[in-house]
Each structure stands twice: as C-alpha cells, then as structure tokens.
Structure 1
Amino acid sequence: MTIFTMSETTEIEKLVATVQHAQQNELAEEFITLFREDAIWTTAHGKRLTGRDEIASFTRQVLPGATKEATATYEVAHVVFIRPDVAAVKIRQRPVKPDGTPLPDQNEGSPLYVLSKEDGRWLIAAGQNTIVL
C-alpha cells in the first residue's frame, strides 16, 4: 500500500490554484504550461481538444476578454491517487463576477482532471468540464 503525503495534495491544490489564476487573469500562456504535450481537454460545452498545441490555439482565442462579465473560483473537492504519479481530481468551479462576487444565476462547473507527475511536477493529462444542472 502506498502512503501519499500531504505535500502531494498540496502540490495538486497549487496546480488548481494556478488554473484559477490563469483563467481569472486571462493568462493563456500560464494556463497552457499546465498541460502535458499529449493532453486531452473537453470544455464545459463539449468541445474536445487534443494535444497541447490544439489546447493552446483554442485558449489563445477564447481567454482574452473572457472575464469581463464573469470568471470562476476553483476548489479541489476530492483527490484519488490512482498511482503515485497519477491522480484524479474533482474540482468545484463556482462562477463569480470579476470582483469575486458570486453569480447565483449561473450554474457551477464540476471539472475532473487526470493529472500525471512528470519530472516532479503535476500536469494535466486529461480534463473534462461539466456544467452542473
């Protein structure tokens, strides 16, 4: 049985905090660096993106200007360590105004990230965002 340290969970929480920071501040390049080269990403609206290059192209198109009206907070809700170097991470994504005020008329998101540890750093291998109805 493998015992996972709190530091692994902390590192994963830092990655999710970086996702939030990049999204809220429209930092496409920071966001793109969080993905493996061969990552798969599915947006909340079902658009599938395969590979960091495709994720980068999409992100550079949609992220600038995306937070004028709304953005989101990201909170790690649950982590399952599949192996020492692979984790499934459930996220609670709450829509907020740019000033952090909650948007009660917007549905939350419920992303699932599959992370892999590459050269000591957690990266997104796959992500699926889902709107909570």
Structure 2
Amino acid sequence: MTNDVQVVGNIPAEVREAVTGVVKALEKAFNAKDPDALGEQYARDASWTNAVGRTLGGREEITEFSRPAMTGFLKDSYARYQVVRLLEIAPEVIAVNVAQTPVDASGEPVRAPHGRALYVIARREDGWKIVAGQNNAIDPPTD
C-alpha cells in the first residue's frame, strides 16, 4: 500500500507506517462489512463527508450510519485502498490521499465507480485516527 507514495514534508517512517495502518484497517473493516471496526478508525469528534455528500459528525454517528449501509446498499461492495500521497500538515497531522478501486469479494477488480478520498489522520490519545475527511465517487477509468 505504500509503494510509489508521494511524501510531502518530513514524515518519519514510523508515522508513515502508522497512518498507512489506519488506511489498511479501514479497508479491512469495509471489506469485512464490520461497522464497529470501521468506526474505530475515526476520532471521537471526527468530521466525515461520504461519497454521496452526507456529512457525519463523530465516531458514533459514522458507525451507526455504516451499520445499515453495510448490510444494505454496500453489502456487495468491496474495494482496494491505495495510499498515493502523504502531506505533513503539522507534526502528527497528515493529509492522506487514497485511491479506491472497486473489487469483487475475491479481490479482483470490477467495472464500477472508483473512489478518491482525502483523510486527515492525527495522533489522538487513543492512537492514530481519521479526524476529518471526504470520499468522492468518480467514474471508472476508460481503458
């Protein structure tokens, strides 16, 4: 997930690893359809705007919104997340650009809208968490 990542700023290797770990955990939770594990990647007071433009406030609201979504309209949706850019905003505050590729349950790419997300990940008292972000759906690339 960290191959060919553009790093802007002086981001120590252990911070890059921690931030990338949050993205990996988010991907794993999404693909497992586990709203509790997904919610744990967000700060208690996070601000999140999903791919359809709905803004959610805080870990609890993000988790509760995800619960029916994962058993409903997202139940057959899977994705591969690739960190493409890390930008140091301030010490221990990193903007993370992520490319999301739709895949089937076995991990094979499928033709469907892709995603581009921006996560702001910061160290909190309970670890590295997404404090703000937005997900955008984009048309699949034309081959």
Shorter-chain TM-score above 0.5:
yes
TM-score (norm 2): 0.84
CA distance in 2, matches of 1:30, 1:69: 18
Is 1:103 equivalent to 2:120 in the alignment?
no
Q: State percent identity of aligned pairs.
A: 31
In structure 1, give the amino acid aligned to 2:96: V
After alignment, is 112-121 or 65-74 more displaced? 65-74
Following TM superposition, by how much is the alpha carbon of 1:53 offset from its aligned partner in structure 2, in angstroms? 2.0
CA distance in 1, matches of 2:17, 2:102: 23
The residue number in structure 2 matching 1:6 is 13
Is 1:21 equivalent to 2:28 in the alignment?
yes
| 1:63-102 aligned within 5 A | 63-64=70-71, 68-102=75-109
Following TM superposition, by how much is the alpha carbon of 1:67 offset from its aligned partner in structure 2, in angstroms? 5.4
Q: Which has the higher strand share?
A: 2
Q: Deviations over 1:38-71 (max 9, x none)?
A: 1111111111111222112101121235555331
Is 1:130 equivalent to 2:109 in the alignment?
no
The change in CA–CA distance for 1:120 and 1:67 in structure 2 (over 3 A counts) is: closer
Following TM superposition, by how much is the alpha carbon of 1:120 offset from its aligned partner in structure 2, in angstroms? 6.9
User: Is contact 1:26–1:66 with CA below 8 Å preserved after alignment?
Assistant: no
Q: Unaligned stretches of 5+ in structure 1?
A: none
Q: Unaligned stretches of 5+ in structure 2?
A: 1-8
Aligned residues: 131
User: Is contact 2:15–2:92 with CA below 8 Å preserved after alignment?
Assistant: no
TM-score (norm 1): 0.90
- The CA RMSD over aligned residues, in Å, is 1.7
Q: Which residue of 101, 123, 129 corresponds with 1:117?
A: 123
The residue number in structure 1 matching 2:6 is none
The change in CA–CA distance for 1:68 and 1:118 in structure 2 (over 3 A counts) is: closer
Other structure's SS at 2:137 match: coil
Following TM superposition, by how much is the alpha carbon of 1:19 offset from its aligned partner in structure 2, in angstroms? 0.4
Is 1:54 equivalent to 2:61 in the alignment?
yes
Other structure's SS at 2:136 match: coil
